[in-house]
Amino acid sequence: MSEESWAVAVDVQEATAPSIQVDFSKKVDRPRGPRDIRGDTNGNSKPEKTEDAIVDMAEQSLLNKLIRKSLVRNRNQVEVLQQDPTSPLYSVKTFEELRLKPELLKGVYNLGFNRPSRIQENALPMMLAQPTQNLIAQAQSGTGKTAAFSLAMLSHVNPGNKWTQCLCVSPTYELALQIGQVIEQMGEFCPDVKLAYGIRGNRPERGVKLQEQIVIGTPGTVLDWCTKYKLIDPKKITMFVLDEADVMIATQGHRDQSLRIHRQLTKDCQMLLFSATFEDSVWRFAEQVVPDPNIIRLKREEETLDTIKQFYVICREKEDKFTSLCNLYGCLTVAQAMIFCHTRKMAAWLVSNLIAEGHQVSLLSGQLTVEQRAAVIERFRKGQEKVLVTTNVCSRGIDVEQVSLVVNFDLPVDMAGNADNETYLHRIGRTGRFGRRGFAVNMVDSKHSMDIINQIEMHFNRSITKLDTSNLEEMEKLMS
Ligand SMILES: Nc1ncnc2c1ncn2[C@@H]1O[C@H](COP(=O)(O)OP(=O)(O)OP(=O)(O)O)[C@@H](O)[C@H]1O
Ligand SMILES: [Mg+2]
């Protein structure tokens, strides 16, 4: 994978690592990520997105938040493009430098934040600057975007003014609640700043203006509150935040409603837009919503196959695959394993067979609610189960560091039946950060699946070694 010349990797511990100012050409590359379901790194588009896939984006985003324990570290350098290239580029290493109100600073520390995250170093001074500046920020999930604008909103409002000043829209009810929680926690010591949730089921009295300085909600309800119910005067909004823009525009209705809210605002209103991914469609939307933006981007750390030993096993049918899996498991001292199946049915079959063999197994299935999925992942993380069986849809974007064996019980294929290289990399690749050695074993049960292995080998220019799981001695030698 080629890094672009200006993307210089620096160590995250290096407190003085400067940000770089770059000239983003309007043609941005397409970062790949768990939420980037519509195309691969090379811009090849996948088949049309389905309703399922759309729901999945919002659910995946929520799942990420439920299972995340802390900031996602990223050693890449932040790329900054300022609207006015002559103005100095401010970056803060401490929250004190932002000169926040003491009660807000207390709230930040109370959340356990010691220092600004990578993107916050640049985003916070920009969002707090006077005169105000607009911002488009893209960084992978978990890098501190929501915390950043929550802080900006709390700092921006005038608690003495009893009307809505900051408006934030988010794609779903659950995601809006998540953001609200962050604002409430961070604003714990700012008792005069109030927050209202513009979400379904909440219906304040029609025509009576809200007194809450901050409103966070979904586009449909927020639009109603601005236009139909006149609870908010859009002309008095001085900060507009659009979070999770990539998830937002996956639903046409949300996209249009966001634009309709946006059209009611004054041109002096500060516009902020955040996204975890940044394909062309997000970029086009961002340009519509955020005039004259500063742009901040933090690229994902690339996953690599460097530290992974890859194998394939020739099998006849699923029973044969199961036997191979058991042989494999018997031979390895596996810390934890993740096994990928193509369908829920196959995953369920495999789980019952593994349990019958005495393994502690859990199943991550699309039938579970997001909360249940988060609980399954959490148990697996804690090592309560050693094997996690999952379908691909459920497992996108899950980083489980201690997994030393990944088994593709079914190989990843796209809708056309070709190798899905991107998914393959997601399943077994590691970032340099974790860098632990691991094994990937692919079950091959037909000529077609052998073709897929060949395609994957060619794509990554890495050979995948044949493994005979009935030959214990050879297996031990190869996998040592
Ligand atoms: N400066 C910080 N120091 C320590 N932890 C932080 C800091 N900023 C954010 N966090 C924590 O990191 C996690 C991710 O932050 P946040 O939700 O803001 O990320 P995000 O970029 O909005 O992610 P997503 O794209 O999934 O919405 C949260 O648990 C948050 O509390
Ligand atoms: Mg967020």
Ligand 1: which of 62, 67, 70 to mutate, most ligand atoms within 8 Å of CB? 70
Among 309, 345, 344, smallest CA distance to 328 is for 309
Residue ranges of domains in the chain: 7-298, 308-478
For the Cβ of 362 lying below 6 angstroms from any atom of ligand 1, the answer is: no
Q: Among the bound ligands, name the one nearest to the CA of residue 137.
A: 1
Ligand 1: which of 71, 168, 177 to mutate, most ligand atoms within 8 Å of CB? 71
For the Cβ of 172 lying below 6 angstroms from any atom of ligand 1, the answer is: no
Token pair of 124, please? Answer: 């916070």
Q: How far from the centroid of its chain's Cα atoms is residue 271's Cα?
A: 22
pLDDT exceeds 70 at position 14: no
The CATH T-level fold of domain 308-478 is Rossmann fold (3.40.50)
C-alpha of residue 144 to centroid of ligand 1, in Å: 3
CATH number belonging to the domain at 7-298, selected among 3.40.50.880, 3.30.70.940, 3.40.630.10, 3.40.50.300: 3.40.50.300
C-alpha of residue 309 to centroid of ligand 2, in Å: 34
Q: Which of ligand 1's atoms lies nearest the C-alpha of 147?
A: 18
Among 279, 292, 288, smallest CA distance to 138 is for 279
Report which protein residue has its CA nearest ligand 1's atom 14.
142
Burial of 109 (0-12, 13-18, 19+ CB in 10 A): exposed
79-81 β-sheet, strand order: 20-21, 79-81, 293-298, 134-139, 270-275, 239-242, 166-169, 214-217, 195-198
Phi, psi of 466 (to 5 degrees): -75, 140
Q: Distance between CA atoms of 112 and 98, rounded to whole angstroms?
A: 17
Q: Distance between CA atoms of 211 and 96, rounded to whole angstroms?
A: 30
CA angle 435, 438, 444 (to 5 degrees): 140
pLDDT digits (tens, 9 = 90+) for 297-315: 998 877 788 888 999 999 9
Is residue 37 within 8 A of residue 53, CB to CB? The reply is yes
Helix (H, G, I), strand (E, B), or coil: what is residue 308? strand
Ligand 1: which of 121, 143, 182 to mutate, most ligand atoms within 8 Å of CB? 143
pLDDT (average), residues 20-27: 51
Axis-axis angle for helices 145-156, 173-186 (nearest 10): 60
Phi, psi of 437 (to 5 degrees): -70, 145
For the Cβ of 90 lying below 6 angstroms from any atom of ligand 1, the answer is: no
Q: Which of ligand 1's atoms lies nearest the C-alpha of 61?
A: 26
For the chain, the straight-line distance linking the first and the last C-alpha, in angstroms and rounded, comes to 28
For the Cβ of 145 lying below 6 angstroms from any atom of ligand 1, the answer is: yes
- CA contacts within 13 A on the Cβ side of 39: 16
The pLDDT of residue 65 is 84
For the Cβ of 66 lying below 6 angstroms from any atom of ligand 1, the answer is: no
Q: Which of 70-84, 86-100, 122-136, 335-349 has the highest mean pLDDT?
A: 122-136
Report which protein residue has its CA nearest ligand 1's atom 13.
71
Cis peptide before 131 (omega within 30 of 0): yes
- CA contacts within 13 A on the Cβ side of 468: 5
For the Cβ of 64 lying below 6 angstroms from any atom of ligand 1, the answer is: yes
Report which protein residue has its CA nearest ligand 1's atom 26.
141
Q: DSSP states of 100-167 as a string?
A: --HHHHHHHHHTT--S--HHHHHHHHHHH-SS--EEEEEE-TTSSHHHHHHHHHHHH--TTS-S--EE
**Minimum mean pLDDT among 13-22, 157-166, 255-264: which range?**
13-22
Better-predicted residue by pLDDT, 379 or 39 = 379
In whole angstroms, how large is the CA radius of gyration of the chain? 24
C-alpha of residue 433 to centroid of ligand 1, in Å: 18
Q: Distance between CA atoms of 421 and 423, rounded to whole angstroms?
A: 5
Contacts 24+ apart (CB under 8 A), 380-384: 380/336, 381/67, 383/336, 384/360
Is residue 206 within 8 A of residue 229, CB to CB? The reply is yes
403-408 β-sheet, strand order: 361-364, 387-391, 336-341, 403-408, 438-444, 308-314, 465-466
Q: Distance between CA atoms of 156 and 145, rounded to whole angstroms?
A: 16
Is residue 428 within 8 A of residue 308, CB to CB? The reply is yes
Better-predicted residue by pLDDT, 233 or 55 = 233
The pLDDT of residue 328 is 86
Report which protein residue has its CA nearest ligand 1's atom 4.
113
Q: Distance between CA atoms of 79 and 8, rounded to whole angstroms?
A: 9
Report which protein residue has its CA nearest ligand 1's atom 25.
141
**Hey, which residues does 197 pair with through a beta bridge?**
216
pLDDT exceeds 90 at position 334: no
pLDDT exceeds 50 at position 52: no
For the Cβ of 9 lying below 6 angstroms from any atom of ligand 1, the answer is: no
Around ion ligand 2, residues with a beta carbon closer than 5 Å are 145-146
Helical H segments across 244-369, by residue range = 245-249, 252-264, 280-289, 318-331, 344-356
Ligand 1: which of 73, 145, 153, 272 to mutate, most ligand atoms within 8 Å of CB? 145
pLDDT exceeds 60 at position 433: no
Report which protein residue has its CA nearest ligand 1's atom 8.
144
The pLDDT of residue 393 is 67
Helix (H, G, I), strand (E, B), or coil: what is residue 252? helix
Phi, psi of 136 (to 5 degrees): -115, 125
Q: Distance between CA atoms of 357 and 359, rounded to whole angstroms?
A: 6
pLDDT exceeds 80 at position 227: yes
Report which protein residue has its CA nearest ligand 1's atom 1.
116
For the Cβ of 298 lying below 6 angstroms from any atom of ligand 1, the answer is: no
CA angle 110, 116, 121 (to 5 degrees): 155
Phi, psi of 298 (to 5 degrees): -130, 115
Q: Which of 33-37, 66-70, 138-142 has the highest mean pLDDT?
A: 138-142
Among 234, 237, 235, 214, smallest CA distance to 225 is for 234
pLDDT (average), residues 184-197: 97
Q: One fold for both 7-298 and 308-478? A: yes
